Structures are given as C-alpha cells and as structure tokens.
Structure 1
Amino acid sequence: MTREVATDLYPAARDILQTLVGFDTTSRGSNLEMIAWVEAYLDDLGVPHRRVANADGTKANLLASIGPMIEGGVVLSGHTDVVPVDGQPWSTDPFTLTQKGDRLFGRGTCDMKGFIALALAAAPELAAAKLSRPVHLAFSYDEEIGCLGAPHLIEVIRNELPAPAVVLVGEPTSMEAVNGHKGIATFHVAVTGREVHSSQPHLGVSAVMEAVTLMSSLTRLSARLMDEADPASPFTPKGPTLTIGMVQGGTAHNILARECSFVFDLRAPGPRSPAEIIAPFLAEAVAMDQALKARAPEAGVVVEMRTDVPPFVPEPDGVAEAFARRMAGDNGPPRVVAYAAEAGQFQAAGFSTVICGPGSIDQAHQPDEYIDISQMQRGAQFMRRLIDWASEAA
C-alpha cells in the first residue's frame, strides 16, 4: 500500500540537480566528470555500478542496480548529455541552477537532468530498504546526437541483468505517460564539384548549385509527406517530417565551389522505413552522381545515413504504460510525442517501455531552459510511490 505521508524527496533532488547542471555535458564534449560524480554518490550508498564506455573511453553510460538481482524490476533510463547553448540569449548562466519564482533555470533542467536527479534522490531510501524488486539506473551518453550510447547499454541490460518488467524513459512529458514517439534518421549529403573561376562555369562544377538542386528535391518531398499524412495519426505533425538543419559550402563568391554538404533529418512514425520514404531522393542523388562524374571524374554525390533510431509504438495492454500511470496517478487518454528518444531502442530490444518524466518538451533546447518546481515535486511523488512498489511483497 502506498504511503501518503512520507519524506519529501524534492529538496534532495533539487540539490542533486544543482550539481548535475554544473557539469557541461554538451554532446560534443565528454560526460565523464558527471559520471564520476554519480559513481561516487552511489559508492557512498553501497550501490554497485559499472561503466559501459564508448570505443575510445571519452564517454560512458552508467548502469547501477539496487535491490535483489531478480527478474521483474524497473529500469529508470535517462541521458546525461545536453544540447549546446552557443548563440542562445540566456539571461542566466546556463550551467548554474538558478531559481526564479517557481521555476528552476539551467541547461538540462527539463531535458533531462531533472529526472536523473529525482532517480538519484530516491537511491538512498532504495538502498536502505529491503526491496522485493530491483530498481536499475541506466544513464546514457549522446542521446541528443542520435541516441548513440544507448544501444551498447541496452545490450548489457539484456544480456547481463535479470529481465526487467518495465523500462521507464524519463524524457519530459509533464509526468504523464506516453506510449509512442516517432523514429529519427539523420543523413549527411556531400557534393563534390570542380573549382574554376566563376566566369568559366562551363569548365567546372559548382557543388553548391548542385546541392541546391538536391535540397529543393527534399523540400518538395517534405511538402508531399505533409500533404499525404494520415489524418487519423495521433502525432503532431501527423506524418513524417523532413528538415534540413545544416549547410556548408564554398570559399568565395567568384569560385565555383568544390565542396558543399548538408545534413537533414527524417522523423517518421512508421511503418515505412526511412530508406523507403526517401527512395525518390536517393535515386535522384545516384543520377546526379553519375552526371557529375561524366563532367568531372572527381565530382560526385555521397549520401550517408548517420543515425537511425526506431519509432516507439503503443503496446497492446502495455505493462510499462500501466506501471507509469499507477505511479503518476495518471488516468488521462493515450499520448504520443513527435520527438525521438531511446524508448524505441529499448522496445526494439524486447522491453515493455514507457516515457514519463518531469518538465515540458516546450522548454527543452531553448535559451533559459527551465523546469517548474511543481513538476519536480510531482516527480518526487512518483519516486515515492516507486520506492513503495519496490518494497512491497511481489
């Protein structure tokens, strides 16, 4: 039975969040300083843990287990990395937790160090209790640049832990259960031309101008995907979305550019694969590659898929969704989100999965990112119920 009156976990979570925000874990850098702090915190509690590092050891996932090593536990999953603050007009230091009224400001407060802070705030009571079910902490790296760290972490969980019953991914959902998200695939397109004086374009190949042709094709495809979206889709926007996020190319106005590259992402709910959706574009890129090589052997087009995160789809009678709703006191309608997360990766590995965490995606990635204190308090209540669940007789 859930205790209605118990120690408030929020003050401890706020203190931990202050520490976590102070670590600049922007994806382009390392997260090891933060991981080391969490390890020391868990060591003080006697909680066993292990790193699951990347290939060169510059970043690491962290996996910890509290309670009996038996099946039927819950995984609390969160990513440690944050997006850059470069060029954003912050009114506070983004790496110093700052309270203004009923909001806590700082990079990562809602996406998603607030959730990690709540999980860590619950750890002392979990470690001291006589648990009947285990609680596993799974903190990843490089989620923001394509969910790159989670697959290795998920592999370790699947192969080395007793099978958990639930994976709870704590992305910001205003503490409401979410049972679906779109997948995301990112692509890098490199166009190579031949440099000549701009007064002699017949002797060269402008990589920039050829890239513009390809980008125009993607723009048309993006519009078509919007027009053809299933009106019954629960997502907003309803269908796949395609956006070009970065473009680089050229050296001077009077030189035909030798190189131009751009990056685009495709967010799709399924069931069509990213390759199927962009097949017309890929065919155009192949045709352009051949045409450019006929004009200049060194010219061409290369399209590379950099990341491919699967969509997260609603589970019939989902165990994880039911668990999150019970812990959160959530009786609302089914919900999906348009952003991608690691939930699809956990689900693809065979785990019943749900997304539920404090804060709103509306504040994520913004200057002056913040989380409402009320959201942290709701998250603390969630963790309190989770402690009771893990302690009660199975």
Structure 2
Amino acid sequence: MSAEYDMMVEDILGHLIAFPTICERSNEALIDWVESFLLALGARCERVPGAHTGRFNLLASIGPETPDGVILSAHSDVVPVEGQPWTTDPFHLTKHDNRLYGRGTSDMKGFLACMLVAARTAAALPDLKAPLHLVVSCDEEIGCVGVRSLLKELATRKFRARGSIIGEPTGLHVVSGHKGKLAARVICRGLAAHSANPDRGCNAILLAADVIGSIRALQQELLEKGVQDDAYEVPYSTMQVGLIQGGTALNIVPDYCELGFEMRFLPGVDPESWLDRLRQEAARLCDSIEHARVEVEVVNSYPGLHAPDNITFLRNIMQITGDNATGRIGFGTEGGLFSEYLDIPVVICGPGSIDRAHKADEFILDTELAAGVQFVSRVVEGLL
C-alpha cells in the first residue's frame, strides 16, 4: 500500500471526523458531504430519512443493477464526548506517531473512510460484473434506530445482494454472530404518605427493590438453565438494571420509582418470554402489597445475528481476511436487522478495536486503516 494511498484515506477520515455527528443530533452535513463525494464518482445515491428529524440514511450503488452485489455499511453517528478527559480535539483528526485520534476513528468512521476509498476504486473499474452498495446509517448508537426505515424500504422493493459487511471494529477478523438487546422501563407505583407513618403508604422504592430481586432470580435461571454458547465471552443471556430513579424527599414515602432494565440475549433466545416472566413476577408482588402497581414498557430492541459457518459469502470473506474460524461478539450491531429485513448473509468485519470505542482519546492505527483499505479493495475485486 503506497504512502499516497494511505494519506488519501486519512484525508477522508479527517473530513468525516470534523462532522460532530453525535447520536440524537443531525447528521445531514456529513450525509451532504458523503453524497457529493459519491455523486462525483457517478454513484446512484438515495437518501432515506431516519426515525427523527434531521437524521438520514444514504444508499449508494456503483456498477450494474444486478441482484448479486455486496453491501458495505457503516453508521455515521458517534457517542458524546462531554465529561471525558480528551487530550486532543475529538472533532479534529490528530496524528501522533501512528495513532489517528478523534471521536469515531474506530467506531466507525474509519470503516466509512475505507468504504469511500472502495467506491473510488469501484468507479474506476469499467468491467464490474456486480454492484458495490454503500449504506451510511444514522442513530445506531441509541439502539440501531435509524437504519430501519432504509431496510424497510429495501425490503419492500425486494432488494437483493449476495451479502453485507458491517464494518464495526473487529480488528479485521470475521464475526458471524452477536447478541441482541432489549431495553425496558420498569415503573413502580405506590402510595405517598408522611414518613412518620410509613405503613399508611406504599413505598415504590421498596417495591422496585423487590422487582430487582426478581430480575436477579431470572438472571440466575438464565445462567443455570438457559441457552449457552461458549463462542461468546459471556456464554449466556444476561439481564441487568442500569438506572434507578425515585423519591422526592426523605420525609415522604415515595409513590414512584423507575428502573432502566436491559437484556442481552443470545441469537435464538426469545426475550419476550423472559419479559413475560418478569411481568408475572411483578404481578405476584403487587397482589401481596396494597396500592402497588408495576408496569413494564419496552423502549427499544434489536435482534441478534447468527450466520452459519457454511455460508458461501462468509467463507469468501474469511478467505480475504485469512481467518480460519469466525468469532462472536457481545455488543450489538445493525447486522441482525440487515439479516432480518433483507434475508441476506451478514458478517461483521472492520478495522480498529471496540476496546477504544466510547472513550476519551479514541484512535485507530494508520496501519489498521491501511489494512481496512486493502480489505475493501479485495471485496471490490470480487465484483469483477
């Protein structure tokens, strides 16, 4: 890989990092820039609005309009930087030695930069036998929310491709599976009273504590009797409470308490059945406590991903990376949604490390970025 080629991808990454596309904010300026870049190459481009105003997905295609193309996909949004001890400007690409610092360098504007280099390569090849598709999505970081409108549109059109590569940072190792996620809000209601006479009220915080006990018991059951997959670092599905809020004053028996609850579930596990169990346990608690009520509301969910090892597309990508076996990851991606909506093979593979994501001084190595360019170039060669 020439130094000139490396600098081209670094220059593109610098432009992408300069757009502060923090999740739940507009990504329109970045989409404008990427679309202009791709239109100049002759790509066919289409925007599809996300779930919220000012956020957009972009689909671009280069090559013939045949059903056997390959999708390269990256989300455009990044997590916030407030409160983090950055030593560089997170929205200015800064290079020290062989590290490229900036919010999103690993997660996952580094792969987006590689995608744009791949588009430039594909546009220069007059004899592509299959198209290269690029998907740039929005609002991935808040639960894979934004891409659904695009995937729904493509499913309506019966869009087909031989497979999709979601370029989340995996160190360019092929990942064929990840867990799904369900996020829920548990609202516990009681009856307010003066704290001098607590028996005249119903303490919603104590009710919430009982619900947390039920969640712990269900988690233990998942550990001891649930589905297991040793390919994952945590080989079972998990439940946990990450947020709690309740009470107004120390001398008031609280009549309201809210829990933020999530489940990370293995592919093939039905989270709704466990959520039903939680609702049943909550109802049992309320039956024995006067004035107690518990509501469980699903806030967001997305499916896991599981690609069988004998899929041709998966094996072809493994030949490019040199992997002898595929991996599994605990964090979620848009891959399960691509598989569910489009019914095509999906692999997760991109440069950089997830261990650097969401932290201060996020970075990608220049050698990792160059390897990402080589990877997508090999994918484009497969379209000849």
TM-score by length of 1: 0.90
Q: Deviations over 1:2-58 (max 9, x none)?
A: xxx779643222112112122222222222222122122223223221111135532
Report the counterpart of residue 186 of structure 2 in structure 1.
Answer: 189
Report the counterpart of residue 10 of structure 1 in structure 2.
Answer: 6
Q: Measured at CA, do residues 122 and 371 of structure 1 come closer, stay the same or move farther in structure 2, by a change above 3 Å?
A: same
- Name whichever structure is richer in strand by fraction: 2
Q: Which of residues 48, 71, 74 is equivalent to 1:52?
A: 48
- Tell me, yes or no, if the aligned pair for 1:179 and 1:335 is still in contact at 8 Å: yes
Report the counterpart of residue 164 of structure 2 in structure 1.
Answer: 167
Q: Secondary structure at the match of 2:88?
A: coil
- Tell me, yes or no, if the aligned pair for 1:71 and 1:164 is still in contact at 8 Å: yes
Q: 5+ residue gaps in structure 1?
A: none
Q: Secondary structure at the match of 1:260?
A: strand
Q: Deviations over 1:315-368 (max 9, x none)?
A: 24213312322333x233221111111111112231111111011111122222
Distance 1:115 1:203 in 2: 60
Report the counterpart of residue 370 of structure 1 in structure 2.
Answer: 363
Alignment of 1:327-338 (within 5 A): 327-328=320-321, 330-338=322-330
Distance 1:83 1:289 in 2: 38
Equivalent position amino acid for 1:345 in 2: L
- Tell me, yes or no, if the aligned pair for 2:42 and 2:62 is still in contact at 8 Å: no
Identity %: 36
- Tell me, yes or no, if the aligned pair for 1:26 and 1:83 is still in contact at 8 Å: yes
Alignment of 1:93-112 (within 5 A): 93-112=89-108
Q: Which of residues 29, 32, 42 is equivalent to 1:33?
A: 29
> Is the aligned partner of 1:311 residue 2:294?
no
Q: Deviations over 1:171-194 (max 9, x none)?
A: 111011111111111111122233
Distance 2:304 2:340 in 1: 9
Q: Secondary structure at the match of 1:305?
A: strand
Report the counterpart of residue 120 of structure 2 in structure 1.
Answer: 124
> Is the aligned partner of 1:76 residue 2:111?
no
Q: Which of residues 180, 187, 211 is equivalent to 2:177?
A: 180
> Is the aligned partner of 1:340 residue 2:340?
no
Q: Which of residues 268, 281, 285 is equivalent to 1:284?
A: 281
Report the counterpart of residue 207 of structure 1 in structure 2.
Answer: 204
- Tell me, yes or no, if the aligned pair for 1:205 and 1:256 is still in contact at 8 Å: yes
Distance 1:74 1:156 in 2: 18
Q: Which of residues 314, 317, 329 is equivalent to 1:324?
A: 317
Equivalent position amino acid for 2:331 in 1: Y
TM-score by length of 2: 0.92
Report the counterpart of residue 241 of structure 1 in structure 2.
Answer: 238
Q: Deviations over 1:303-326 (max 9, x none)?
A: 111222111113242133123223
Report the counterpart of residue 134 of structure 1 in structure 2.
Answer: 131
Q: Which moved more, 1:258-267 or 1:151-160?
A: 151-160
Q: Which moved more, 1:114-123 or 1:380-389?
A: 380-389
Q: Measured at CA, do residues 127 and 84 of structure 1 come closer, stay the same or move farther in structure 2, by a change above 3 Å?
A: same
Equivalent position amino acid for 2:357 in 1: A
Q: Measured at CA, do residues 198 and 97 of structure 1 come closer, stay the same or move farther in structure 2, by a change above 3 Å?
A: farther
Report the counterpart of residue 195 of structure 2 in structure 1.
Answer: 198
Distance 1:133 1:326 in 2: 19
Report the counterpart of residue 357 of structure 1 in structure 2.
Answer: 350
- Tell me, yes or no, if the aligned pair for 2:237 and 2:264 is still in contact at 8 Å: yes
Q: Measured at CA, do residues 249 and 356 of structure 1 come closer, stay the same or move farther in structure 2, by a change above 3 Å?
A: same
- Tell me, yes or no, if the aligned pair for 1:171 and 1:358 is still in contact at 8 Å: yes
Q: Which of residues 13, 17, 24 is equivalent to 2:20?
A: 24
Q: Which moved more, 1:60-69 or 1:152-161?
A: 152-161
Q: Displacement of 1:277 after TM fit?
A: 2.9
Size of the aligned set, in residue pairs, is 382
Q: Deviations over 1:172-228 (max 9, x none)?
A: 110111111111111111222333322222222222221122123223333443344
Distance 1:6 1:370 in 2: 22
Q: Secondary structure at the match of 1:217?
A: helix
- Tell me, yes or no, if the aligned pair for 1:187 and 1:303 is still in contact at 8 Å: yes
Distance 1:54 1:149 in 2: 5
Q: Measured at CA, do residues 266 and 45 of structure 1 come closer, stay the same or move farther in structure 2, by a change above 3 Å?
A: same
> Is the aligned partner of 1:255 residue 2:244?
no
Q: Displacement of 1:162 after TM fit?
A: 4.8
Distance 1:320 1:258 in 2: 55
Distance 1:112 1:89 in 2: 20
Q: Deviations over 1:111-136 (max 9, x none)?
A: 11111111012222222321221011
Q: Measured at CA, do residues 335 and 70 of structure 1 come closer, stay the same or move farther in structure 2, by a change above 3 Å?
A: same
- Tell me, yes or no, if the aligned pair for 1:309 and 1:344 is still in contact at 8 Å: yes
Q: Displacement of 1:267 after TM fit?
A: 1.0
Distance 1:55 1:97 in 2: 29
Q: Displacement of 1:378 after TM fit?
A: 0.8
- Tell me, yes or no, if the aligned pair for 1:72 and 1:165 is still in contact at 8 Å: yes
Q: Secondary structure at the match of 1:265?
A: strand
Q: Which of residues 374, 382, 387 is equivalent to 2:380?
A: 387
Q: Deviations over 1:263-284 (max 9, x none)?
A: 1211111322012234432212
- Tell me, yes or no, if the aligned pair for 1:141 and 1:149 is still in contact at 8 Å: yes
Q: Deviations over 1:212-268 (max 9, x none)?
A: 221232233334433446665211111012222222222222222232212121111
Distance 1:253 1:50 in 2: 56
Distance 1:8 1:386 in 2: 21
Equivalent position amino acid for 2:170 in 1: T
Q: Which moved more, 1:158-167 or 1:24-33?
A: 158-167
Q: Secondary structure at the match of 1:179?
A: strand
Q: Secondary structure at the match of 2:79?
A: coil
Q: Secondary structure at the match of 2:252?
A: coil
Equivalent position amino acid for 1:242 in 2: M
